[in-house]
Structure 1
Amino acid sequence: MNSPHPAPSTTLARRRWLTLLGLAPLLQACSPFRLINATVPSNTHTVLRGEAYGNAERQRMDVYLPVDKTPDAPMAVFFYGGSWSSGERADYKFVGEALASRGIVTVVADYRLSPEVRYPVFLQDCALAVRWARDNARRLGASPSRLFVTGHSAGAYNAAMLALDARWLAEVNMRATELAGWAGLAGPYDFLPIVLPEVQLAFNWPDTPASSQPLFHAPAGTGLKHRVLLLAARSDTAVNPQRNTLAMAQALQQRGTKVELELFDRLNHVTLIGAMAPPLRGLAPVLDRFSSFLLQRPT
């Protein structure tokens, strides 16, 4: 079975993450993300909090600015996971800091969630966030020509859809070919039929179009100029890497797109993104692969 949501519940997955950190006894007293974020250094970045890209309460983002950056730094818009029904940008401070510490201007964006909205509204929110990033890149010390969409799990789905299906950026008067590339960590790119109730709700199952799936667009999607990074945990039991990450890589490579691909051992669906945080970086070089991809100069 393929699912974009952890096979063990998110709570159990987070408990395993905390066990690795030796923090499991504190699980009941404090958010696990808050514990992770408590390890993040403050001298690598500054933060612009609550920047608005729309009028809705959840159309907000935090921007992590590197202390040391070039005048034309790359810019990454990061979307988090949560089955399109949970998550908030404050939980992903560790991602913003990790990328900013490598000289990358990083936007961590909230977007409206189910059951408040359904597909494709969360994609429309993400497109607005990317438009804001492009329009404000120079003010923030980044280059609009080095703009990437990125994400983990459901957020990787959002990034893939913006890159591959031209409809969503076109709605905000952008072309997907304006993106320098996209990066997906453990993304669900092909998950029909939908079996999880919260995802069924988010995608109006069974009235879910095939065009809602990123893999549907891979053979003939938006231009070939994108560079793509696909990372996953080899033993991910939440989002099957063969059906999703490897199948996406193969489809893109067949059409001539340059794809960087790696499956990591010793990681699972949660620790793949958790390895961006200081206490878990020794598990696998996720941050090194992610940041080096974003820092590459366009050719």
Structure 2
Amino acid sequence: MGKHRASWKRWSRELEKKPKEPGGCCLFQMIFVLALTILAYNLWHWIWPNVRHDIPNTIDRAFSANDRIEQRGPLAYGNHEDRQLYIYRSEDAPEDALQPVLIFFHGGGWANGDPAQYGFIGRNFAPKGFVVVNAGYRLLPEGKYPAMLADGAAALRWTTQNIRKYGGDPERIYLMGHSAGAYNAVMLGLDRRWTRRLGLPDDTIDGVIGLAGPYDFLPLEEGNAEDAFGETQRIAETQPVNFARADAPPMLLATGFQDEAVEPANSRALYDALAAKGARARHAVFNDMGHAGIIMTLARPFDGSRIGDPRVEDTVTTFLRERLQEAARERTRAARRERELQATRTDTDEGGAQEEAQASGDIQPPEG
């Protein structure tokens, strides 16, 4: 036994004296670590965008399990897998009255996201008296400009043609979006080329809500913006700020002061451009809120229903209520003007008929 132990010790000493191959072990470790890093990076960028979009929706679903919300979808509005939408309506909504419609476009840098992951928008605003449409659109690489706008216009046309079947009023449609989706919504409201190409009247959109949207982001930076707009020849036509006009639909432009993904200056620039044209616009800045927070606070319990922040929800709801009340007053005035005009036409027709009959001798003037 002792002989074997001595041989082992002698072999160990010889092994220690033997020179190691230069860098062999270290090189293997470096390759392994590099491969692991690349794998982790790709998994992170593949999984995390979808996970972070679904977190608020998953939590909200748990808090709204007892809500009476009817969901329909996915419903296709085109021949691409991304051209689909979901519809949300309160089961307590009156069956004999159409409700105003809120179309929502999700964010994700035009590269990721799914309308199904924003069910909390439908569950939040359907009880407030809206039929909510969460609309998807083609994503990168297929979704390069102007695909997102062509798809948004197509979703809008589908809504005008079909929403009555789901209890929605095609005469009262509002758009809302977050981040890249806010760009889509605002551009559809400002650049009428996309809606006109599909034969939609210019007054189809009654109001627009942009949450943390990019509206004035030239020059393009590397990343999703470069991928989405970099091949455009007339790059100025991609910027919402260049389409400000006096007769734009009323707009609410909201942003978080601490937003590091989309600079708050985007919202300010578009608001200033709209105000300079005399358009109706509102600018809301939430000082202690970032890019994700402004959309997350529209999901429970982050919306103020339990422990959250109600400011964004209250601001959006107030804007929508004011627009609806304004539209109702305008319809009342229009109906009154039509009645007065009809009465005037009737009096004119009756007076003309009487004069014609009198001239023909059918009616004699009273004796004086």
Q: Same fold (TM over 0.5)?
A: yes
Return the offset for 1:266.
Answer: 2.5
Aligned partner of 1:201 in structure 2 is 227
Return the offset for 1:245.
Answer: 0.8
- SS at the partner of 2:292? helix
Aligned partner of 1:169 in structure 2 is 195
Q: Is the contact made by 1:194 and 1:205 (CA closer than 8 Å) also made in structure 2?
A: no
Count of residues in correspondence between the two structures: 272
- SS at the partner of 2:110? coil
> Which of the residues 300, 310, 314 maps onto 1:278?
300
Aligned partner of 2:70 in structure 1 is 46
- The aligned amino acid for 1:186 is A
Distance 1:34 1:178, change over 3 A: closer
Aligned partner of 1:114 in structure 2 is 140
2:161 is the counterpart of 1:135: yes
Greater CA radius of gyration, 1 or 2? 2
- The aligned amino acid for 1:47 is Q
Return the offset for 1:273.
Answer: 0.3
Distance 1:88 1:65, change over 3 A: same
2:241 is the counterpart of 1:191: no
Q: Please give the per-residue CA displacement for 1:39-83, whole angstroms capped at 9, x wherever unaligned.
A: 341424110011111121111100011223352321011001111
Distance 1:193 1:262, change over 3 A: same
| Distance in structure 1 (CA, Å) of the matches to 2:101 and 2:209 | 12
| Distance in structure 2 (CA, Å) of the matches to 1:268 and 1:177 | 33
Aligned partner of 2:150 in structure 1 is 124
| Distance in structure 2 (CA, Å) of the matches to 1:102 and 1:165 | 29
Aligned partner of 2:262 in structure 1 is 239
Please state which structure has a larger fraction of its residues in strand. Answer: 1
Aligned partner of 1:182 in structure 2 is 208
Distance 1:52 1:189, change over 3 A: same
| Distance in structure 1 (CA, Å) of the matches to 2:128 and 2:122 | 10
| Distance in structure 2 (CA, Å) of the matches to 1:206 and 1:113 | 16
Structure 2: segments with no counterpart, 5+ residues:
1-43, 331-368
> Which of the residues 68, 72, 92 maps onto 1:68?
92
Q: Normalising to structure 2: TM-score of the pair?
A: 0.69
> Which of the residues 202, 213, 224 maps onto 2:247?
224
Q: Is the contact made by 1:69 and 1:103 (CA closer than 8 Å) also made in structure 2?
A: yes
Q: Give percent identity, aligned residues only.
A: 35
Please state which structure has a larger fraction of its residues in helix. Answer: 2
| Distance in structure 2 (CA, Å) of the matches to 1:59 and 1:153 | 19
Aligned partner of 2:115 in structure 1 is 89
Aligned partner of 2:104 in structure 1 is 78
| Distance in structure 2 (CA, Å) of the matches to 1:78 and 1:118 | 20
Return the offset for 1:176.
Answer: 3.4
Distance 1:117 1:173, change over 3 A: same
| Distance in structure 2 (CA, Å) of the matches to 1:226 and 1:247 | 17
Structure 1: segments with no counterpart, 5+ residues:
1-10, 16-26
Return the offset for 1:160.
Answer: 0.8
